Structure 1
Amino acid sequence: MNQTIASDSGQLDTLRVHAADNVCVALKDLPAGTDVTDSGQRITLTEAIRHKHKFTLTALEPGDTVIMYGVTVGRATRPIAQGAAVTTENVEHSTASSTPQAKRGSWQAPDVAHFQGATFDGYHRPDGKVGTANVWLVVPLVFCENRNIEVLRQCVADALGEDPFREYKQLARELLHGSSGEPTPPPRERLFPNVDGVRFLTHTLGCGGTDSDAQALCQLLAGYICHPNVAGATVLSLGCQKAQIDMIKAAVQARDPQGLRPVHYLEQQASQSETALIRESLTTIFDGLATANQVERTPAPLSKLSIGVECGGSDGFSGLSANPLVGAVIDRLVALGGSGILSEFPELCGVEHELIARCSDDSVAERFSELMAAYQRHAALVGADFSMNPSPGNIRDGLITDAMKSAGAAKKGGDSPVVDVLDYIEPQTRAGLSLLCTPGNDVESTTALAGSGANLIMFTTGLGTPTGNPVTPVLKIASNTALATRMSDVIDFDAGPIIRGEVAIGELADRLLELCIETASGRYRPRAVSLAQYDFIPWKRGVSL
């Protein structure tokens, strides 16, 4: 994890990631006829290779495996000359088990002497957990309440003077009516300085689905209500839907058996009027804010941090820079007694043997195998397969098979032992690295990471994405500097120097962990929070990939 990127020639033009690989990555655009030296062998490119894309180090025949990161990431479908581009026209998705590079009990923890005794300033909860934020949550049990949620959102924003879209609204008025010449009024003084705001969830579930969908929704919402970043919640129910108040009460009680977190349940069909419902809801919200404001940030050990890791809009550099960088941070956090959560099971396809080899015991390994197999069976029932995972954007920027994407995506989990495997909506209970069964869909997966208890999320991207989360701060890490510059309003950290060979991954990981501590302490505000990117999409299981 501490090496810099460099080719045999010393030029930062190409990279063979693993000694066993038979493809190489172009770190910049290379014209046809370019001579590349790899392990003393001279290769002439037969065609132009775009940066982030791969070319062959040896000639391949139909059926030959394509190897990258030391694992099988595809199979040749036609003859490919040495020095030719690897594309969707000549390679298809393929995986194969092989001798894993990892071995149980062999992990060497990174040097974390610099962080020994380090703390973050968090919100200590009565159950012993520590939040990196302090929000009041408003959630609907059924989509029929989404309108009321939106009414409450607008009313609360107006009352608190904390409208995140104030500048956009002013822009719209100017575009329609012309500039009035009057500056946008400054935001009001915060009435509740120890509270990070009110978060409002909406969704499309709760009625008309299966009983298991309703139970899963209630379990997910309970994970949010009982999240360490949440001070309490207001829950709106219509009354007749499948996801009943009794169901969510049971789910909340399972996570909070002592009833330490205040939760208010309101039912519209039992209310005198919509006005009465809105009045009662606003009362619970404002009373809740007053109570939440009594809690102040105080120091907490890094062992109280649980960081979920996610990738979206990945490119051909993600697995070389941003993902291994995030993995190095997770390794450091685990060495300090903290926790990480790696999700997106379709993007672990092809590296299962590596993760199994890292499992702390046989029962953990068996659960991972069982959940992966069950997911694949469910996907097959709806005519889907993990091989369908790469998006057009992924493919355009060099990730042409799911196995290739997965081999790079798994780097987000670092090298530490896998101590637990969680099914969707299950809470994280063990310190260390856990695997969480979610789809590869960015928002569905990020939603699940927070639901399982991640109180901070690191999100890597090579193409750029505006995804955030309502309760958990999300840090965006760019795989390349061009993206970090172009979308500076969205990106928090640039992993591009790794691609240029300017800095070792380990050194940059220390800087990123420091940013995580600043974020967890409320001293750094992630771009996703500043832009009010509060995305929430429950997974309707067995349908999404």
Structure 2
Amino acid sequence: MPASHSSAPPSVIHLHPADNVAVAAKTLARGEKFALSGGSLTAIGEVRFGHKVALAAIPAGEPVYKYGQVIGYASRPISPGEHVHSHNLHLGELHLEYAKASQTPPPPTPITGRTFDGYRRADGRAGTRNYIAVISTVNCSASVAKYVAHAFDQSRLADFPNIDGIVPFTHHSGCGMQFGGDMHQTLNRVMAGIARHPNIGGYLLIGLGCETGAMGYLVQQEQLLQLDGGASQPAGAPLILSMQDQGGTAKTIEAGVARLVEMLPRVNDVRRQPIPASEIVLATECGGSDAYSGITANPAVGAAADRVVATGGISILSETSEIYGAEHLLTRRATSVSVADKLIERIEWWKGYVGMFGAELDNNPSPGNKEGGLTTIAEKSLGAVAKAGCTALVDVLQYAEPPSKRGMMVMDTPGYDPASVTGMVSGGANVVVFTTGRGSCFGCKPAPSIKIATNTPMYQRMVDDMDINAGEILSGVSVDAMGEKIFDEILAVASGKPTKSEKLGIGEEEFVPWLVGPTL
């Protein structure tokens, strides 16, 4: 809530009564007075837009509070009116009370009657786009997959107006891994998830022929071959082309193009139809965050996610390394102790994982995050988990695992945006909402990505990339009203409205599977 009750825009924002810092709503000059409830303070040094200013004396070693939660500890004495950042604040050792499943919220009031115009697939799932996928099973076939997909420019697709495009899904792995191990299984889930994705109307797998990945294992396990009508394959056309069997690069490209030519009429033979909003599977992501991510855009996305859940849909929170320090807010909302334990187990895994490389989770905030006013991972995480809204935590998913429940859930992904969103989309997300304060330019085919700015100056500067300006919250628009606006936009985009990233053609290079393990 604003620290000033005057009609003029506040100079600082005091988020919680327990907080001993506030966030600068504009750059405060050295010696500038700023109003507080019941008085005023003077900035004893410059405090830039989005950065923290101390509201009281904070002795060395004492906690610093923001959002009513500990974001770290003073590394030296901090005076009232002083800029609070990396020079005088460090994470320290957090002591979190998980209180598992102790505050599980009741189901939200149902929202009925909301629909979007989507594609109803043969297996019953709902798509928001209609792409053809050319999936490389290994890096050795990545160039061929791109050549095949890019052989079809817009003029060649002009006779197929219901097809949004042909997308190559390439990556830098697929071999040099333990057969059947974690890395192999994860990559299998990602590629199978793309092939099965409701936004994919048809697909072709292209491999070298001798790799550890999908050429052998996935076919043997029939993870891709038996999709129950999930993709629109022409009769008799093989799902997989092997470069070694076809006779090399040129012959594989020729065969691949021929397969897609056969596929085009069937994939084009679809029409949008009204589908309940309960079929939305929403991926939520924040990237290029700043101090206003947790004040404007992320809480507004949380309000929109609550609406998706209230329709009976699914909302996914990701970036486990950016939940650390705020996981106790989610464990309390879990539907059971076992669900809470699944999240805690993932947090502990991450602590051990980064420790293997001499790193720690507080290394997560990027230079841009810190330039935007974020200091510690706890501060960043407390703002990031606002995207989860207020509903119960119903499950914790593996990377790229399809949800088996409805409601709000966490997927275990890294904080790196392309890898994180790739996991959620491979798990079945058919719409992405992506908040940014610094100005991240992102798309993720085959799912449309709605970009939401946290502050007005960045929105105006990068308006060609931003879909919604949540910075309007700082000018008096309520978080709930912005959440309703985002929810409406989700349904409009699901119905075919192009996002800014789609207009710019962004979304191929952002397919980045997260693969943990040794390269052999």
TM-score by length of 1: 0.89
Distance 1:204 1:149, change over 3 A: same
Q: Deviations over 1:337-360 (max 9, x none)?
A: 111000000111111111000111
- Distance in structure 1 (CA, Å) of the matches to 2:17 and 2:261: 60
Residue 516 (1) aligns with residue 490 (2)? yes
- Distance in structure 2 (CA, Å) of the matches to 1:101 and 1:70: 19
- Distance in structure 2 (CA, Å) of the matches to 1:149 and 1:511: 39
2:43 maps to 45
2:155 maps to 161
Whether the 8 Å CA contact 1:222–1:255 is kept in 2: the answer is no
- Distance in structure 1 (CA, Å) of the matches to 2:37 and 2:107: 28
How far off its partner does 1:514 sit? 1.0
Distance 1:264 1:270, change over 3 A: same
Match of 1:276 among 241, 246, 251: 251
Whether the 8 Å CA contact 1:390–1:399 is kept in 2: the answer is yes
1:177 maps to none
Deviates more, 1:389-398 or 1:492-501: 492-501
2:167 maps to 199
Give, as a single letter, the amino acid of the residue that structure 2 aligns with 1:123.
Y
How far off its partner does 1:251 sit? 6.2
1:104 maps to 103
2:398 maps to 423
Give, as a single letter, the amino acid of the residue that structure 2 aligns with 1:97.
L
Distance 1:515 1:370, change over 3 A: same
Residue 336 (1) aligns with residue 311 (2)? yes
- Distance in structure 1 (CA, Å) of the matches to 2:46 and 2:279: 49
Query: Where in structure 2 are the equivalents of 1:90-129 lying within 5 Å?
Result: 90-94=88-92, 95-98=94-97, 104-107=103-106, 109=108, 112=111, 116-129=112-125
Give, as a single letter, the amino acid of the residue that structure 1 aligns with 2:54.
T
SS across alignment from 1:233 = strand
Runs of 4+ in 1 over 6 A off after TM superposition: 99-102
2:473 maps to 498
Whether the 8 Å CA contact 1:317–1:479 is kept in 2: the answer is yes
- Distance in structure 2 (CA, Å) of the matches to 1:244 and 1:322: 39
Query: Where in structure 2 are the equivalents of 1:152-191 lying within 5 Å?
Result: 152-157=148-153, 160-161=154-155, 190-191=158-159
How far off its partner does 1:245 sit? 1.6
Deviates more, 1:374-383 or 1:38-47: 38-47
Distance 1:101 1:222, change over 3 A: closer
How far off its partner does 1:419 sit? 0.7
Give, as a single letter, the amino acid of the residue that structure 2 aligns with 1:517.
L
2:515 maps to 540
Give, as a single letter, the amino acid of the residue that structure 2 aligns with 1:194.
N
Residue 143 (1) aligns with residue 139 (2)? yes
Give, as a single letter, the amino acid of the residue that structure 2 aligns with 1:525.
P
SS across alignment from 2:144 = helix
Distance 1:52 1:219, change over 3 A: same
How far off its partner does 1:108 sit? 7.2
How far off its partner does 1:483 sit? 1.3
1:208 maps to 176
SS across alignment from 1:75 = strand
Match of 1:371 among 346, 366, 374: 346
- Distance in structure 2 (CA, Å) of the matches to 1:438 and 1:58: 38
1:168 maps to none
Q: Deviations over 1:321-343 (max 9, x none)?
A: 11111110001111111110000
Structure 2: any 5+ residue segments left out of the alignment? none
Give, as a single letter, the amino acid of the residue that structure 2 aligns with 1:357.
R
- Distance in structure 2 (CA, Å) of the matches to 1:492 and 1:428: 27
SS across alignment from 2:460 = helix
Whether the 8 Å CA contact 1:348–1:410 is kept in 2: the answer is yes
Whether the 8 Å CA contact 2:53–2:81 is kept in 1: the answer is yes
- Distance in structure 1 (CA, Å) of the matches to 2:419 and 2:460: 27
Distance 1:110 1:488, change over 3 A: farther
Q: Deviations over 1:424-483 (max 9, x none)?
A: 121112110110000000111011110111100000001111221121100000001111
- Distance in structure 1 (CA, Å) of the matches to 2:210 and 2:269: 36
Give, as a single letter, the amino acid of the residue that structure 2 aligns with 1:381.
M
How far off its partner does 1:7 sit? 2.9
Distance 1:254 1:20, change over 3 A: farther
Residue 223 (1) aligns with residue 193 (2)? yes
Distance 1:248 1:528, change over 3 A: farther
Whether the 8 Å CA contact 1:390–1:401 is kept in 2: the answer is yes
Distance 1:5 1:476, change over 3 A: farther
- Distance in structure 1 (CA, Å) of the matches to 2:107 and 2:230: 39
Q: Deviations over 1:131-166 (max 9, x none)?
A: 001111001111111211222233122xx427xxxx
Whether the 8 Å CA contact 1:323–1:411 is kept in 2: the answer is yes
How far off its partner does 1:249 sit? 2.9
SS across alignment from 2:274 = strand
How far off its partner does 1:231 sit? 1.2
Whether the 8 Å CA contact 1:225–1:252 is kept in 2: the answer is no
Whether the 8 Å CA contact 2:395–2:408 is kept in 1: the answer is yes
Match of 1:393 among 341, 351, 368: 368
Whether the 8 Å CA contact 1:358–1:417 is kept in 2: the answer is yes
- Distance in structure 1 (CA, Å) of the matches to 2:277 and 2:203: 27
- Distance in structure 1 (CA, Å) of the matches to 2:404 and 2:202: 21
- Distance in structure 2 (CA, Å) of the matches to 1:397 and 1:148: 41
2:55 maps to 57
1:266 maps to 241
1:526 maps to 499
2:28 maps to 30
Give, as a single letter, the amino acid of the residue that structure 2 aligns with 1:518.
A
How far off its partner does 1:391 sit? 0.5
How far off its partner does 1:130 sit? 0.2
How far off its partner does 1:35 sit? 2.8
Identity value in percent:
36
Aligned length: 507
1:7 maps to 4
Give, as a single letter, the amino acid of the residue that structure 2 aligns with 1:191.
D
SS across alignment from 1:198 = strand
SS across alignment from 1:420 = strand
Q: Deviations over 1:210-250 (max 9, x none)?
A: 44323321211101111111112100010111114232235
Distance 1:92 1:296, change over 3 A: same
- Distance in structure 2 (CA, Å) of the matches to 1:82 and 1:126: 63
**Aligned CA-pair RMSD:** 2.1
